[in-house]
Chain A
Amino acid sequence: QQPVQSPQAVILREGEDAVINCSSSKALYSVHWYRQKHGEAPVFLMILLKGGEQKGHEKISASFNEKKQQSSLYLTASQLSYSGTYFCGTAYMNRDDKIIFGKGTRLHILP
């Protein structure tokens, strides 16, 4: 039950906004967002729990729509440092469930 991420890839100019979506065919307990730069390990961004919430992390925020079984990651006024591959991971049952990651969304920011 791998979540589906869209788009697969996006190219932006510095200062533009981006939205990355993560959709599930099953009810979600939590959504985990990570960013991986080329040649590096994935780095944690945020966790959202069911109940419909939004979290922020500098200019990166995310929402979790429990009814639609999806989460969206928002990157506003993108910076060059935002380039990388973004992964969403989902847990379905509870906090102790395994985290299943999507295939990732490649984001490239142009100067």
Chain B
Amino acid sequence: KAGVTQTPRYLIKTRGQQVTLSCSPISGHRSVSWYQQTPGQGLQFLFEYFSETQRNKGNFPGRFSGRQFSNSRSEMNVSTLELGDSALYLCASSYTQGAEAFFGQGTRLTVV
């Protein structure tokens, strides 16, 4: 079966712009989590959606937001981009909360 698909794979944006990243989970999975990965910081939790509702949220500013659609696909949006937002953004899907998660290949965002 198809894995987790994240689009686009690479993005270059300018400071102040906004960006939308997309994640298509494995068919049948209803939980989608988003993580920011930077060198030396590991996987920083952004938020988790389950059945179109945000169930958990990390300690990121309000510029970071997300949503989940009825087909479980999820998007995250970052507004007013800062240089420090440059990172690999990973999406993980699981059948339910707290279960084995499958990660996508990520979207590498570079802010210049």
**Chain B minimum-CB-distance residue to A30:** B98
Q: Report whether B103 and A42 are in contact in the complex, using a CB–CB cutoff of 8 Å.
A: yes
A40-53 to B contact mask, C-beta < 8 Å, 1/0: 11111001000000
Q: Does the CB pair A97–B104 fall under 8 Å?
A: no
User: Which of chain A's residues has its CB closest to B47's CB?
Assistant: A98
Bound-state CA distance A100–B44 (Å) is 7
Indicate whether A102 sits within 8 Å of B98 (C-beta atoms), given known contacts A41-B103, A41-B106, A97-B56: no
Verify if A64 is at the interface (C-beta below 8 Å from B): no
Asked if residues A98 and B45 are in contact (CB atoms below 8 Å), the reply is yes
Complex Cα distance, B55 from A101, in Å, reads 17
Task: Please count how many residues in chain B sit with their CB below 8 Å of the partner chain's CB atoms.
Answer: 27
In whole angstroms, what is the CA distance A2 to B98 when docked?
17
Q: How far is the CB of A4 from chain B (nearest CB, A)?
A: 11
Knowing A87-B43, A103-B40, A104-B42 touch, does A97 contact B98 (C-beta < 8 A)?
Answer: yes
Bound together, the chains give a CA A99 to CA B40 distance in angstroms of: 18
Given A41-B90, A87-B43, A104-B42, CB of A99 within 8 Å of CB of B33: yes
Nearest CB in chain B: distance from A85 CB, A? 9
> Does B86 make an interface contact (CB < 8 A)?
no
With A96-B55, A98-B45 as given contacts, are A44 and B35 in contact (CB-CB < 8 Å)? no
Q: Known interface pairs A42-B90, A96-B55. Does A102 touch B100 (Cβ–Cβ under 8 Å)?
A: no
Bound-state Cα–Cα, A98 to B104, Å: 18
Decide yes or no whether A95 CB sits under 8 A from chain B.
yes
**Bound complex: CA of A40 vs CA of B48, how far in Å?**
21
In the complex, A91 has a CB within 8 A of chain B: yes
Q: Chain A CB within 10 Å — which of B4, B43, B102 has the most?
A: B43
Q: Which of A30, A43, A97 contacts B103 (CB 8 A)?
A: A43
| Listed residue (A32, A42, A47, A97) with the most chain B CB atoms within 10 angstroms of its CB | A42
Closest CB pairs A-B (n = 10): A98-B56, A95-B98, A41-B103, A103-B42, A101-B43, A96-B97, A44-B100, A42-B103, A104-B42, A101-B42
